[in-house]
Every structure is written in structure tokens, then in C-alpha cells.
């Protein structure tokens, strides 16, 4: 199934942001901000500083239906304001091809989303957006629409700031969810990598992956007050996405990338 290009969704995204900005200016208040902060008129800069949309793809090189999903997420990764991350899962290895990027903890992360999203089971390909909703990655138009909707959703994320030394990250104050949140560092290799599959459903095919995740590490807890966290060392060429994620519902409250 072929999907339309991202030009349409980019236009919709711009419209969503414009409508969001206009509504905020007409109301004249921020709403939903931390207690004790005086309400003031929202300016376009506040909209530009909204949290990016985090798109997490769970895929496998041995999954015949995953190649199209990989392509859809690769398109999404090129859009401004989107952090796309690809996790290889290992439960397709039984078909004869051992996924070169898969790790058991990535399958566990997908399983945690299954519980949070109240799904009966896990499936691939699966795309989880901001930890709030999921779509089949093979449905490109559905993915585009979900990203646009998340872009237009008003949020007031805590500030995330990487120190110049590159070894620490600060998370500012904000409204923490019930039960608190975890600060998670996702180390990944930016760009596209291609793997030629020798066995299994995709035998003889080249499978493309974008922003392949190498490691997921919990940095610590966040309960609404400013905290400084140590970042894991990254090999040359890798990037780190820092996610603030609810402990209970796994919703992503804020995210930023250190290149």
C-alpha cells in the first residue's frame, strides 16, 4: 500500500499550530501551568517551544509486513518537530533470521505499552505516539493524521536542557503526573541503515531502518521539581533522546535530543 507524501500532513500541521496559537492569544492565558505562575498572554514563541512528537516504531527485520511501516516512519522522521525512534524486537527471530538490531529490553518496552494502552497483545509493526496512542505503522495516512493531532494538542512540558559538557541534562519544574515520572535516555544512531536479510520472510530483501535505538536507560525520577541527571556515554555518531515519561500511564510529557 502506497501512502501520500508528507506535504499534505505538513500543511495540516502548520494549520494546527496556527489555530492553536490564535486560540491561545484570544484567551490571553496559558492555562495548566505550574501553581504560583502568573497567567499571561501566550506568544508564538511558546508554541514553537512545545514538546516534539515522539514516534516509536517497534519492528523486526524478519517481519514481512514491517518494511512498509519502516518507510512510513522514515518519512515521519524527516518532519520538523518529530523525534522518530526505531526499536528492533526479537520475537520474530524464530522464523530463521536473527534481527541484528533487536534486544530483549526493546520487546519489554513494547510489552509495557501493551499494558498501558490496554491491548490484548503485541503486534508488529506497531507505532506508539507520545506514549498516548498506537497505530499500525503500515497505515501511513493514519500515522500522519495521528502525528498532526498530537502536534495540535496543547501541552506545557518541563524544560529540558543539555549541559555544554554533554554529560548531563537538566529537567525543569512542571506538573508531574500522579505517581511521578521517569527520565529516560534513548541512545540511537541517526539516519538510515540498510540490512540485507538472508533468511525468513524477507529473504533476499534489503530492509531500511531510521534512527535505530541502541540502548534505553532510566536516568532517575522526576516529580515536578528541577533535577540534574547524568547522561550515559554515547559512541561517536550516536544521539540521545531524553524522554520524560509517566510511571503509570507511560505518556511522554516532554522530549529533547542531544545530537
Cα gap 235→241, rounded to integer Å: 14
Cα gap 83→103, rounded to integer Å: 20
- 201 domain residue, yes or no: yes
Cα gap 248→251, rounded to integer Å: 8
Phi and psi dihedrals of 88, rounded to 5?
-85, 130
Which CATH number fits the domain that encloses residue 240? 3.40.30.10
Phi and psi dihedrals of 123, rounded to 5?
-150, 160
Given a cut of 80, is residue 142 above it in pLDDT? yes
- 2 domain residue, yes or no: no
Cα gap 33→47, rounded to integer Å: 14
- Helix (H, G, I), strand (E, B), or coil: what is residue 240? strand
The DSSP letter of residue 245 is: E
Number of structural domains in the chain:
1
Q: What percent of the chain has pLDDT over 90?
A: 67
- 195 domain residue, yes or no: yes
The DSSP letter of residue 102 is: B
Given a cut of 50, is residue 30 above it in pLDDT? no
Write the DSSP string, 160-189.
EEE-TTSSEEEE----PPTT-EEEEEEEEE
pLDDT digits (tens, 9 = 90+) for 70-118: 999 999 999 999 999 999 999 999 989 999 999 999 999 999 999 999 9
Cα gap 82→103, rounded to integer Å: 24
- 1 domain residue, yes or no: no
Q: What is the pLDDT of residue 224?
A: 95
34: left (phi over 0), alpha (psi -120 to 50) or beta: beta
The H or E element spanning position 82 is strand 82-88
Q: What is the pLDDT of residue 8?
A: 33
Given a cut of 90, is residue 222 above it in pLDDT? yes
What's the mean pLDDT in 134-142? 82
Grade residue 234 by pLDDT with cuts at 50, 70 and 90.
confident
- Pick the residue with more confidence: 36 or 135? 135
Cα gap 168→160, rounded to integer Å: 11
Q: How far is CA 151 from the centre of its chain?
A: 12
Q: What is the pLDDT of residue 50?
A: 67
- 61 domain residue, yes or no: yes
What's the mean pLDDT in 135-143? 82
pLDDT digits (tens, 9 = 90+) for 182-205: 999 999 999 999 999 999 899 999
Write the DSSP string, 11-33.
HHHHHHHHHHHHHHHHH----SP
Instruction: Read off the C-alpha cell for 15.
Output: 494549520
Given a cut of 50, is residue 16 above it in pLDDT? no
Chain mean pLDDT for the chain:
82
- 79 domain residue, yes or no: yes
Given a cut of 90, is residue 69 above it in pLDDT? yes
Give the residue numbers spanning the domain of 228: 7-258
Cα gap 134→126, rounded to integer Å: 7
Amino acid at each position: 500500500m502506497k501512502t501520500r507524501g508528507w506535504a499534505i500532513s505538513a500543511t495540516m500541521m502548520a494549520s494546527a499550530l496556527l489555530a492553536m496559537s490564535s486560540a491561545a492569544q484570544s484567551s490571553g492565558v496559558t492555562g495548566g501551568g505550574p501553581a504560583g505562575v502568573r497567567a499571561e498572554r501566550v506568544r508564538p514563541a511558546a508554541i514553537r517551544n512545545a514538546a516534539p512528537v515522539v514516534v516509536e516504531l517497534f519492528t523486526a527485520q524478519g517481519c514481512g509486513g514491517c518494511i512498509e511501516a519502516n518507510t512510513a516512519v522514515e518519512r515521519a522522521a524527516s518532519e520538523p518537530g518529530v523525534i522518530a525512534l526505531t526499536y528492533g524486537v526479537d520475537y520474530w527471530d524464530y522464523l530463521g533470521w536473527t534481527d541484528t538490531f533487536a534486544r530483549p529490553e526493546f520487546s519489554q518496552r513494547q510489552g509495557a505499552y501493551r499494558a498501558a494502552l490496554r491491548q490484548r497483545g503485541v503486534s508488529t509493526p506497531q507505532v506508539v505516539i507520545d506514549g498516548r496512542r498506537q497505530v499500525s505503522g503500515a497505515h501511513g495516512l493514519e500515522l500522519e493524521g495521528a502525528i498532526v493531532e498530537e502536534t495540535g494538542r496543547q501541552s506545557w512540558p518541563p524544560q529540558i536542557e543539555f549541559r555544554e559538557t554533554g554529560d548531563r541534562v537538566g529537567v525543569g519544574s512542571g506538573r508531574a503526573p500522579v505517581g511521578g515520572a521517569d527520565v529516560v535516555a534513548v541512545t540511537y544512531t541517526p539516519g538510515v541503515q540498510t540490512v540485507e536479510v538472508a533468511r525468513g520472510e524477507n529473504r533476499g530483501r534489503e530492509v531500511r531502518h531510521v534512527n535505530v535505538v541502541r540502548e534505553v536507560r532510566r536516568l532517575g525520577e522526576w516529580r515536578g521539581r528541577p533535577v540534574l541527571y547524568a547522561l550515559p556515554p554515547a559512541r561517536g555518531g550516536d544521539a540521545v533522546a531524553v524522554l520524560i515519561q509517566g510511571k503509570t500511564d507511560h505518556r511522554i510529557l516532554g522530549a529533547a535530543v542531544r545530537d
